[in-house]
């Protein structure tokens, strides 16, 4: 479902004297449906960068990345948008709040899945009185759960998870672990960053070290 070969990512900072930062080099990664691969490595080794490359957010400098049969580096903007709409969900650590849009509408994101969205918010313990409130003023943990609800609203074949439990309390951590495992058992191919050892042990089927 996901396959990279010799993937590299270098940032060229033109306004800092053309400094080149080589963040990823020669990454070979293969993830099959039903697998959850935990990326491992010290801070700064490029774990988040790899997820962003797979999502088509960062541009790939070398090598190839294929997600659900689409060559990410060669895909047109339209193809990437379609891939994100139907196939790939990406949970970042931060929620980008939109002025005036309620938490529930952020989760639904235009999709006609209101009752599913409400179920998910209940499951993630977002109090009902917050559903109609824009999440800009929510706590970090609440914002993260809104993000998770948005990404898990529809089952997607590919999940990219960047520290999905970082600011969650124990109960919500267990809920997110359950959501991840349910998605994997339903056949999703998952790549994630899980610093919390308990979470990693509970969800990962394999660890992939980055150097």
Partner 1 sequence: MTPLLQIFGVEKRFGDRVAIRDISFDLWPGEVLAVVGESGSGKTTLLNCISGRLAPDAGRVEYLTRHEGAKDVWRLSEAERRMLARTDWGYVHQSPEQGLRMGVSAGANVGERLMALGARHYGRIRGEAAEWLERVEMDPARIDESPLAFSGGMRQRLQIARNLVTRPRLVFMDEPTSGLDVSVQARLLDLLRSLTRGLELAAVIVTHDLAVARLLAHRMLVMKEGRAVETGLTDQVLDDPQHPYTQLLVSSVLQP
Contact 106, 130 (CB under 8 A): no
Residue given tokens 């003023």 in the structure block: 137
* Closest to 55 measured CA to CA, from 110, 109, 111, 2: 2
Which residues pair with residue 159 across a beta bridge? 89, 190
| Residue 13 is a binding residue for partner 1 (CB under 8 A) | yes
Which CB sits closer to partner 1, 12 or 186?
A: 12
Stretch in the footprint of partner 1 (CB under 8 A) among 20-28, 32-40, 51-59, 202-210 = 51-59
Locate 66 and state its tokens.
């294929």
Stretch in the footprint of partner 1 (CB under 8 A) among 38-46, 96-104, 115-123, 149-157 = 96-104
**Cα separation, 129 vs 133, whole angstroms:** 8
**Cα separation, 117 vs 107, whole angstroms:** 7
Which CB sits closer to partner 1, 52 or 200?
A: 52
The residues in 140-169 that bind partner 1, with binding defined as CB under 8 A, are none
| Residue 74 is a binding residue for partner 1 (CB under 8 A) | no
Q: How far is the CB of 114 from partner 1 (least distance, A)?
A: 16
Which CB sits closer to partner 1, 71 or 169?
A: 71
Q: How far is the CB of 85 from partner 1 (least distance, A)?
A: 11
Counting residues that bind partner 1 (by CB under 8 A) gives: 20
| Residue 77 is a binding residue for partner 1 (CB under 8 A) | yes
Angstrom distances, CA of residue 172 to CA of 40, 84, 117, 188: 23, 26, 17, 21
**Cα separation, 104 vs 170, whole angstroms:** 23
| Residue 192 is a binding residue for partner 1 (CB under 8 A) | no
Locate 199 and state its tokens.
């979470």
46-71 in b/e burial notation, b at 16+ Cβ within 10 A?
A: bbbbbbbbbbbebebbebebbbbebe
Which CB sits closer to partner 1, 110 or 209?
A: 110
Which CB sits closer to partner 1, 82 or 122?
A: 82
Locate 89 and state its tokens.
């969900």
| Residue 82 is a binding residue for partner 1 (CB under 8 A) | no
Q: How far is the CB of 99 from partner 1 (least distance, A)?
A: 4
Summarize as ranges the residues that interact with partner 1 (CB under 8 A): 11-15, 52, 56-59, 77-78, 80-81, 96, 98-101, 110
């Amino acid at each position: 479902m996901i396959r990279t070969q010799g993937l590299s990512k270098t940032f060229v900072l033109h306004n800092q004297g053309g400094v080149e930062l080589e963040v990823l080099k020669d990454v070979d990664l293969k993830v099959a449906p039903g697998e959850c691969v935990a990326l491992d490595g010290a801070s700064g080794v490029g774990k988040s960068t790899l997820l962003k490359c797979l999502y088509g957010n960062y541009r790939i400098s070398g090598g190839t990345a294929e997600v659900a049969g689409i060559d990410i580096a060669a895909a047109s903007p339209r193809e990437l948008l379609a891939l994100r709409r139907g196939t790939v969900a990406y949970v970042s650590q931060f929620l980008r709040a939109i002025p005036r849009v309620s938490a529930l509408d952020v989760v639904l994101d235009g999709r006609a899945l209101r009752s599913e969205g409400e179920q998910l918010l209940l499951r993630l313990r977002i109090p009902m009185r917050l559903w109609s409130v824009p999440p800009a003023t929510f706590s970090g943990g609440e914002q993260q759960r809104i993000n998770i609800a948005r990404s898990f609203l529809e089952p997607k074949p590919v999940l990219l998870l960047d520290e999905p439990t970082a600011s969650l309390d124990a109960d919500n951590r267990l809920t997110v672990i359950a959501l991840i495992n349910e998605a994997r058992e339903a056949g999703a191919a998952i790549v994630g960053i899980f610093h919390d050892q308990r979470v990693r042990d509970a969800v990962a089927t394999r660890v992939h070290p980055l150097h």
